[in-house]
Amino acid sequence: MINTTFYLRRLHSICGLLALGGMLMEHIFTNSMALGGSAVFNAALETMELIPKPIFLGIEVGLIAVPFLFHGIYGIYIALQAKNNTGSYGYARNWQFLLQRCTAWYLLVFLIWHVGYLRIFTKGISGTPISYELVQSYISNPIIFVLYIIAMFAAIFHFCNGITTFCMTWGIAKGPRIQCVIDKLCMLMALALCLVTVAYMGSYLL
């Protein structure tokens, strides 16, 4: 018995939670350093640069790029299997189900642009190091700022709602009470992370 579907689905789930969730938390953590101003943020980036280049690249490819591509591509396949019906069945969890897919589509496009421009073009090809000043001038463009903040909200929601569904998919939360409690806790966490994001992104503009 091979059951490829089963293993792909579970891999999709665990990839999202650990690799992508980890990456999102790292981004929020490092970027929140911007609250301390230019010196603190640049120092945080330099600390990361201490990781030897080949190892850093290995992490980027093996633990970030590959899981991202898998989660994204297999995710498209999953999203295409849904006919969304919040119009007739407007329950909270059905809305979350829809939002999980909407945020995914937005992030798919956003990440191609974000990674393509900042990581591959700016840092990779032109060799410009990322710094507080660079980010500041980049997001001082109001359109980019708005697109970025939507992307952060989308990623945070997708991650936190993903924890809820992870608990159901892995059979961790079985009964309605625990499922509801986990859902509420995850949405509270999403709210908190969104507030942190607004704070550090806003701090660039002050």
Partner 1 sequence: MAEQNKQTVTFIIERQDGPDSKPYTQEFEIPYRPALNVVASLMEIQKNPVTKDGKKVAPVVWECNCLEKVCGACMMVINGRARQACCALIDELEQPIHLAPARTFPVIRDLLIDRSVMFESLKRIQGWVEIDGTWEVKDAPIQNPYTAQTAYEISHCMTCGCCLEACPNVGPQSDFIGPAPTVQAYLFNLHPLGKFDKEKRLNTLMEKGGITSCGNSQNCVQACPKNIKLTTYLAQVNRDVNKQALKNIFNK
User: Which residues would be at the binding site for partner 1 (CB under 8 A)?
Assistant: 1, 3, 5-7, 9-10, 78, 80-85, 87-89, 91, 93-94, 96-98, 100, 164-165, 168-171, 173-176, 179
CB of 206 to partner 1, least distance (A): 40
Cα(161)–Cα(166) distance, rounded to whole angstroms?
Answer: 8
Smaller CB distance to partner 1: residue 166 or 204? Answer: 166
Give me the least distance between CB of 85 and partner 1, in Å please: 5
Q: Which residues are CB-neighbours of 94 under 8 A, at least 6 positions away? A: 85, 86
With contact defined as beta carbons under 8 Å apart, do 193 and 28 qualify?
A: yes
CB of 4 to partner 1, least distance (A): 8
Residue placing its CB nearer to partner 1 in the complex, 7 or 56 = 7
Instruction: Please state, in angstroms and rounded to a whole number, the distance separating the CA atoms of residues 15 and 2.
Output: 20
Name the H helices within the chain: 4-14, 21-32, 38-49, 53-59, 66-79, 92-114, 132-139, 142-169, 176-205
Q: Which is nearer to partner 1, 12 or 154 (CB)?
A: 12
Q: How far is the CB of 161 from partner 1 (least distance, A)?
A: 9
